Amino acid sequence: MMLETARHRIAANGLRSLKVRDVAEAADCSIGSVYNEFRDFDGLVLTVNRETIRALTDRLIAVPAEDPVRQLHGLAEAYLAFAAEHANLLRALFEHRMGDDRPFPEDILSMVMQAFALMHAPLARLLPDPDPEEVALLARTMFSAVHGIISLGLEERMVAVPPEKLREQLAQFVDTHLAGLGIKIGRTQAFGKIS
Amino acid sequence: MMLETARHRIAANGLRSLKVRDVAEAADCSIGSVYNEFRDFDGLVLTVNRETIRALTDRLIAVPAEDPVRQLHGLAEAYLAFAAEHANLLRALFEHRMGDDRPFPEDILSMVMQAFALMHAPLARLLPDPDPEEVALLARTMFSAVHGIISLGLEERMVAVPPEKLREQLAQFVDTHLAGLGIKIGRTQAFGKIS
């Protein structure tokens, strides 16, 4: 119940709007009970963020893996769909900093890293003679690029790419990048100049 | 003086650590004087953020424009250098939200959009028969991708790309993307498979 309230607050108005007092009021309990359950404000945010990265990972893992090119497109699309539905929750995951310079818990970091590594398998299948370390870096770079395109593209106030164009641009981005890696793909290409 | 204090606070500990009271104390004035000068908390943050985007734009505009491929690499590198030096200030620019759902001031939005449009000119020079609208979208997509790679790559807690590899990965990213667009470039290519 407290967790639900916290998630709804963040989802509706962003991390900045989250107050322990409001969570306690909505759950009809004392502020002490919230601290008892989550230790502190960061503990509450981390619990919400763990559920966010878990839900995102579930979506990404559900992308069909038969065809590696389609899988890469599917991963980018699934990330976009999740980001569009849960913009504030995803922002909270990336924007949250621990108070008093305490270190970030390892478990949530490794969950994020695992999600960002999901482009590894399809890229390794597409590249001839892939070096595992290079593919790992490439996968994370590509996913970070997709993250940048989506997160800025979805900023209504700071639109790097207009929302209606975003899906299309993302597909074009993935195609262009694969073509740049020398991977042949049977799709209409960005600017029709690669084929 | 107040502005300097606010900037130093954000640069050292992030936007979250900024308190009007601390700014007033450091400037040896009343909280009322801070509000008098900047109107409210958001006004103070916006003043810092305007200086950040102005300084970033100055750096990007200073990148030599003779060779368009080198200019694109230079823009990515200049962004990385600025982000590495001013990580918290740049984060504050992208993470700041206005209180009470007030709209974001137009001037700062258009400054950000102008910075993100700086890849337009070199891309237009490189693409044969470029459609202005498509190049504009491509430029913003590419810059957003670069932004994603850099901002996640510099997150020490959430390293999408190890920092020492970041510069190299960024150059490879730009090359791969240009190759994918069918642009011939005289450099060693990512994975050596593009020629």
Q: What is the pLDDT of residues A67-93, one digit of tens each?
A: 999 999 999 999 999 999 999 999 999
User: CB distance from A185 to chain B under 8 Å?
Assistant: no
Could B144 and A157 be called an inter-chain contact, meaning their C-beta atoms sit closer than 8 Å? no
Q: Chain centroid to CA B106: how far?
A: 17
The values of phi and psi at residue A193, to 5°, are: -115, 10
pLDDT reading at A20 higher than 50:
yes
Max mean pLDDT range (A11-20, A23-32, A176-185, B41-50): B41-50
- Identify the band that residue B194 occupies on the pLDDT scale cut at 50, 70 and 90: very low
What sign does the CA torsion over A94, A99, A102, A108 have? negative
Max mean pLDDT range (A21-35, A57-71, B8-22): A57-71
Average pLDDT over residues A5-12: 93
Using one digit for the tens of pLDDT, what is the confidence trace for A85-133? 999 999 999 999 888 878 889 899 999 999 999 999 999 999 988 899 8
Average pLDDT over residues B168-183: 93
- Compare all CA atoms of chain B with the CA of A92 and give the residue at the minimum distance: B95
- Identify the band that residue B193 occupies on the pLDDT scale cut at 50, 70 and 90: very low
Which ipTM was obtained for this model? 0.89
- pLDDT score of A186: 61
- Identify the band that residue B159 occupies on the pLDDT scale cut at 50, 70 and 90: low
Question: Please, which residues have CB within 8 angstroms of residue B66's CB and are 6 or more apart in sequence?
Answer: none
Average pLDDT over residues B77-89: 95
User: CB distance from A119 to chain B under 8 Å?
Assistant: no
User: CB distance from A148 to chain B under 8 Å?
Assistant: yes
> SS3 for B175?
helix
Query: Which of A:37-76 have CB within 8 Å of B?
Result: none
d(CA A113, CA A107): 10
- pLDDT score of A146: 96
- Identify the band that residue B189 occupies on the pLDDT scale cut at 50, 70 and 90: very low
Average pLDDT over residues B28-39: 91
User: CB distance from B127 to chain A under 8 Å?
Assistant: yes
Using one digit for the tens of pLDDT, what is the confidence trace for A29-81? 999 999 999 999 999 999 999 999 999 999 999 999 999 999 999 999 999 99
When the pLDDT of each residue in chain A is averaged and rounded to a whole number, the result is 88
Q: Which of B14, B94, B149 sits opposite A97 (nearest CB)?
A: B14
Q: Which of B16, B112, B179 sits opposite A180 (nearest CB)?
A: B179
- pLDDT score of B102: 86
DSSP A48-63: HHHHHHHHHHHHHHTS
Give whole-number Cα distances, A56 to A111, A147, A189, B30, B156, in Å. 10, 13, 28, 46, 22
Q: Cα torsion for A62, A63, A65, A66, to the nearest 10°?
A: 110
Query: Which of A:72-111 have CB within 8 Å of B?
Result: 94-95, 97, 101, 103-104, 109
Could B165 and A137 be called an inter-chain contact, meaning their C-beta atoms sit closer than 8 Å? yes
When the pLDDT of each residue in chain B is averaged and rounded to a whole number, the result is 88
Tell me how many residue pairs between chain A and chain B have CB atoms under 8 A apart: 144
Closest CA of chain B from A110, distance in Å? 8
Using one digit for the tens of pLDDT, what is the confidence trace for B113-157? 999 999 999 999 999 888 998 999 899 899 999 999 999 888 866
Average pLDDT over residues B30-47: 92
A180 or A163, higher pLDDT: A180
